[in-house]
Amino acid sequence: MTEIHITDPQPFEDDLVIEKSLRPSSMDEFIGQKDVVDSLKLYIEAAVKRNEALDHVLLFGPPGLGKTTLSNIIARELGVNVKQTSGPVLERAGDLAGVLTNLQSRDVFFVDEIHRLNSVVEEYLYSAMEDYRIEIMIDKGPSARSVQLNIEPFTLVGATTRLGNLTSPLRDRFGVVLRVDYYDPQDLFQIVTRSSEILEVEIDD
């Protein structure tokens, strides 16, 4: 039997279920960030009409304001899958290649803390973003050779709290750059009210 202490950093399964139930599942359910939501709706609608992958999206702003939630909603509104990771996790180009080669057409690839990508992985990402093509090494030593692979068109959604830490070559490859800002009191009230209704908890006005 697994012993769980109240000080364990890992969330309880029930907590994860509750958290997921509170997350909005569509742009229409998302409260606040009106400019961001309106812009994303237009870009998504255009991509769906063209039957193409959505332009790569960069979401920047303070932590905890819904960037991850928005990435999931983007995928849902496009009717595609989403793969999630973070910059520090992608330590080698091979880690990135493993994800990219498993993406299906027009899937969303969400990278949190994208400003923390190391330079080798970042440069490897350039051709994937621009041409949907990657280069992999076959064999080792004298017989090693590089092979170019075409990958399915995809949408990279990057999230960062430090826009200034992104290199210009990476930033310039995002067709959609949107700032996520702090919520005003009215939006916060609506968010709390919505959460209380889902959890069936009464709150005082």
What pTM was estimated for this model as a whole? 0.84
Question: How confident is the model over 79-130, as pLDDT tens digits?
Answer: 999 999 999 999 988 899 999 999 999 999 999 999 999 999 999 999 999 9
CB count in 10 Å sphere of residue 25: 14
Query: What confidence tier does 181 reach under pLDDT thresholds 50, 70, 90?
Result: very high
Q: Residues 171, 56: contact at Cβ < 8 Å?
A: no
Residue 85 CA from chain centroid, whole number: 8
Look up residue 150 and give its two tokens. 């075409």
CB neighbours (10 Å) of residue 200?
A: 6
CB 159, CB 110: distance < 8 Å:
yes
Give burial (CB, 10 Å; 0-12/13-18/19+) of 66: buried
Provide DSSP, 109-156. Answer: EEEETGGG--HHHHHHHHHHHHHSEEEEEESSGGG-EEEEEE----EE
Does 5 have pLDDT greater than 80? Answer: no
Distance CA 103, CA 167 (A): 25
Residue 20 pLDDT: 55
Transcribe 52-89 into DSSP letters.
SPPPPEEEESSTTSSHHHHHHHHHHHHT--EEEEEGGG
Q: What is the percentage of the chain residues whose pLDDT exceeds 70?
A: 86
Q: Summarize pLDDT for 145-157 with one digit per residue, the tens.
A: 777 889 999 999 9
| 63 contacts 161 by C-beta, under 8 angstroms | yes
Amino acid 163: pLDDT: 97
Higher pLDDT, 113 or 4: 113
> Quick check: 7 pLDDT over 60?
no
DSSP 8-state assignment for residue 175: S
Question: According to the CATH classification, is domain 33-182 in 3.40.50.300?
Answer: yes
pLDDT, tens digit, 9 for 90 and up, residues 49-92 = 999 999 999 999 999 999 999 999 999 999 999 999 999 999 98
User: Residue 1, SS3?
Assistant: coil
Q: Which of 136-140, 162-166, 185-189 has the highest mean pLDDT?
A: 162-166
